[in-house]
Amino acid sequence: MSEQTSPAPSTAPIREEWLSPKDICRELQIPEQTFYQWRTKHAGPRAHRIGRHLRISRTDLNEWLATTEDHLA
């Protein structure tokens, strides 16, 4: 009889989703000007320059959104 083994769990990292400023503005329903104002004030999500393009990881956006929750006492 042959022994069946289950495949080993993958240790490969989960592929990160990268968003453009337009993607974020569309998702948050805000003007692009607001996003770029946040950038100048260092108040928005962390962004990375990849070549000439500005990209924000989905993880960084979600972490930033979690810090902006409006907590009512």
**What is the per-residue pLDDT across 2-24, written as a single tens digit (0 to 9) for each?**
555 656 666 666 789 999 999 99
CATH topology of domain 18-67: Arc Repressor Mutant, subunit A (1.10.10)
Neighbours of 57 (CB within 10 A): 16
Q: How far is CA 33 from the centre of its chain?
A: 19
Mean of pLDDT values over 60-71: 89
| Nearest-angstrom CA–CA distance, 9 and 33 | 44
Helix (H, G, I), strand (E, B), or coil: what is residue 49?
Answer: strand
Tell me the pLDDT tens digit for each residue of 29-56: 999 999 999 999 999 999 999 999 999 9
* Whether pTM exceeds 0.85: no
Higher pLDDT, 43 or 69: 43
The structure tokens 């974020």 sit at 24
Domain residue ranges of the chain, discontinuous segments joined by +? 18-67
